[in-house]
């Protein structure tokens, strides 16, 4: 064979390999309900290829190195079923949500509880709450509503007044790095969960806690109720005088969603309309600099870790539900969700199987691949289903069709709200394992922050 012929064949093979990694973008017509469903079907299939919990020898709902992400996966599946009516993945969804609930029904499973943070547990509580609000059938030992109540009870029992006048710590146990921090997503998430429980049950206990968390947050450096800046975290060692001000979309979204629920629950109380408007305007201004959703702290420098890739997907969902709870916000939110979904669809051309990217604003695949990318794309596609709401998409309450069984004492071992929910015996092995995992996480986080600063 002549050398020129060899190079010709090699060049052909290289070209074939390069082009085989790209497929046409997902077709998405934002004005066509079926087109949105089809796009979401493609990305939902893509994200479920990363899930093995239903396979022989695997643990349902388990992602050992990133346990909280199971909740993000199931939140997306709940919305996929709710907005499309496709129940293909409901068995895996139901099994995984139940399996990880823990012995007490508080999402503190023994395999992971020794190194979980309050934010990790909280996201599973929000998934259970959504299951109750969307009327996903109760199937197991614990009802979806009781699981959300179990998380609420264990977390409010951890409300900390040793510094900063209150607030929830980031981490649960003293041996965890981050135990001396109070952060926005933990407190904003508990605020949101409390607001959703208040609306669903009409129990004044949850209303009072929602107000308490909100009032503490806005009196702290975390939430500025004049500029509507939401900081990431604050350190207890100086009584929370200063804040780490990295801007993450899900910090804003957690508080915005809670305020939207309280506004809806109180029939339009101005106390809640003001923060809805303020947080919404700040969110749209900060995270849509090009008219397309972007987590600005990590995307421009291409340093988003697997946690951060999920943030705008979660917040896209919260923005969509905000329009259902506060209809007057729809005119601002819908165009942003539409442009972001269209850009996200253009990013889904990777690996020959429509894999999606992180940076939607590039309008093309950015070469990244992962479950997190598929979850966020699924969320932003489904968020646009609100355009076709006929009055059936809004979350229900116990008075408007919700039938998940309530257990106000859920999560406590002795029938008292949260009494033994804080601790379980911690072994030396637990501490060692948690220390290693936390060290790796914090080291990775610090490195990511350093790269962002250098890249900026």
Q: 347-374, pLDDT tens digit by residue?
A: 999 999 999 999 999 999 999 999 999 9
Q: What is the pLDDT of residue 444?
A: 45
pTM across the whole model: 0.88
Q: If 0-12 CB within 10 Å is exposed, 13-18 middle and 19+ buried, where does residue 123 land? A: buried
How does pLDDT run across 181-235, given as a tens digit for each residue?
999 999 999 999 999 999 999 999 999 999 999 999 999 999 999 999 999 999 9
Model confidence at 21, in pLDDT bands (50, 70, 90)?
low
Q: Which of 168, 89, 75, 92 is nearest to 127 (CA)?
A: 75
Q: What is the pLDDT of residue 420?
A: 38
Percent of the chain with pLDDT over 70: 86
- Rounded Cα distance between 345 and 354, Å, is 9
How does pLDDT run across 127-163, given as a tens digit for each residue?
999 999 999 999 889 999 999 999 999 999 999 999 9
Q: Which two tokens stand for residue 431?
A: 């501490």
Sign of CA dihedral 181, 253, 124, 197: positive
Q: What is the pLDDT of residue 31?
A: 97
Q: Which residues sit opposite 117 in a β-bridge?
A: 171
- Rounded Cα distance between 63 and 58, Å, is 10
Tokens 């107000």, located at residue: 211
- Rounded Cα distance between 393 and 395, Å, is 7
Name residues whose C-beta falls within 8 Å of residue 234's C-beta, 6 or more positions apart in sequence: 164, 181, 182, 183, 220, 221, 222, 240, 241, 242, 243, 244
Q: What is the pLDDT of residue 113?
A: 85
Sign of CA dihedral 351, 353, 358, 364: positive
Q: If 0-12 CB within 10 Å is exposed, 13-18 middle and 19+ buried, where does residue 171 land? A: buried
- The helices-and-strands tally (H runs, E runs) of the chain is 15, 3
Q: What is the pLDDT of residue 412?
A: 80
- Rounded Cα distance between 376 and 244, Å, is 25
CA of 152: how far to CAs of 253, 279, 385, 390, in Å? 19, 24, 30, 32
Q: What is the pLDDT of residue 325?
A: 98
Answer yes or no: are the C-beta atoms of 335 and 93 closer than 8 Å: no
How does pLDDT run across 410-441, given as a tens digit for each residue?
998 533 333 333 334 444 444 444 444 444 44
Q: What is the pLDDT of residue 446?
A: 45
Q: What is the pLDDT of residue 442?
A: 45
Q: Which two tokens stand for residue 134?
A: 């969307």
How does pLDDT run across 377-392, given as a tens digit for each residue?
999 999 999 999 999 9
Q: Which of 353, 373, 357 is nearest to 365 (CA)?
A: 357
Model confidence at 114, in pLDDT bands (50, 70, 90)?
confident
Q: Which domains does the chain have, with CATH numbers?
A: 36-344+368-455 (1.50.10.20)
pLDDT of 2 above 50: no
How does pLDDT run across 23-76, given as a tens digit for each residue?
788 999 999 999 999 999 999 999 999 999 999 999 999 998 899 999 999 999
| 10-14, 106-110, 313-317: range with lowest mean pLDDT | 10-14
3-class DSSP assignment, residue 95? helix
Residues 265-281 have a mean pLDDT of: 97
Q: Which of 248, 252, 239 is nearest to 189 (CA)?
A: 252
Q: What is the pLDDT of residue 115?
A: 86
pLDDT of 452 above 90: no
Element (H, E) at 244: strand 243-244
Answer yes or no: are the C-beta atoms of 326 and 260 closer than 8 Å: yes
Q: What is the pLDDT of residue 22?
A: 63
Answer yes or no: are the C-beta atoms of 410 and 146 closer than 8 Å: yes
3-class DSSP assignment, residue 58? coil
pLDDT of 401 above 90: yes
- Rounded Cα distance between 282 and 79, Å, is 26
Q: Residue 3: phi, psi to the nearest 5?
A: -60, -40
């Amino acid at each position: 064979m002549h050398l020129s012929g060899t190079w010709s064949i090699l060049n052909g093979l290289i070209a074939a390999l390069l082009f085989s990694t790209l497929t046409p973008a997902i077709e998405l017509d934002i004005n066509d309900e079926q087109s949105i469903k089809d796009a979401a079907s493609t990305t939902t299939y893509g994200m479920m290829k990363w899930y093995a919990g239903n396979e022989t020898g695997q643990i349902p709902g388990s992602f050992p190195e990133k346990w909280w992400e199971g909740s993000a996966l199931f939140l997306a599946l709940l919305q996929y079923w709710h907005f499309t009516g496709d129940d293909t993945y409901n068995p895996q969804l139901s099994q995984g949500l139940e399996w990880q609930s823990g012995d007490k029904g508080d999402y503190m499973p023994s395999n992971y509880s020794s190194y979980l943070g309050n934010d990790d547990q909280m996201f599973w509580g929000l998934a259970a709450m959504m299951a109750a609000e969307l009327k996903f059938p109760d199937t197991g030992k614990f009802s979806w509503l009781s699981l959300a109540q179990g998380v609420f009870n264990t977390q409010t029992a951890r409300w900390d007044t040793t510094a900063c006048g209150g607030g929830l710590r980031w981490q649960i146990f003293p041996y965890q790095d981050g135990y001396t921090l109070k952060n926005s997503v933990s407190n904003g998430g508990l605020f949101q969960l409390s607001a959703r429980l208040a609306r669903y049950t009409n129990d004044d206990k949850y209303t009072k806690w929602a107000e308490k968390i909100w009032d503490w947050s806005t009196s702290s450096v975390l939430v500025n109720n004049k500029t509507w800046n939401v900081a990431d975290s604050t350190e207890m060692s100086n009584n929370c005088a200063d804040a780490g001000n990295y801007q993450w979309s899900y910090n804003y979204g957690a508080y915005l969603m809670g305020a939207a629920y309280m506004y809806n629950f109180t029939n339009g109380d101005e106390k809640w309309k003001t923060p809805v408007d303020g947080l919404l305007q700040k969110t749209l201004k900060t995270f849509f600099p090009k008219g397309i959703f972007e987590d600005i702290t990590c995307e421009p420098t291409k340093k988003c870790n697997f946690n951060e890739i999920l943030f705008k997907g979660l917040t896209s969902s919260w923005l969509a539900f905000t329009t259902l709870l506060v209809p007057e916000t729809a005119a601002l939110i819908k165009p942003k969700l539409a442009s972001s979904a269209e850009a996200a669809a253009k990013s889904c051309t990777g690996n020959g199987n429509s894999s999606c990217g992180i940076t939607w604003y590039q309008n093309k695949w950015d070469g990244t691949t992962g479950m997190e990318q598929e979850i966020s794309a699924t969320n932003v596609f489904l968020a646009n289903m609100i355009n076709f709401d006929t009055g059936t998409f809004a979350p229900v309450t116990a008075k408007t069709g919700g039938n998940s069984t309530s257990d106000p004492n859920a999560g406590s071992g002795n029938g008292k709200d949260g009494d033994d929910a804080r601790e379980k015996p911690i072994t030396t092995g637990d501490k060692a394992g948690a220390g290693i995992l936390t060290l790796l996480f914090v080291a990775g986080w610090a490195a990511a922050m350093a790269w962002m600063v250098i890249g900026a």
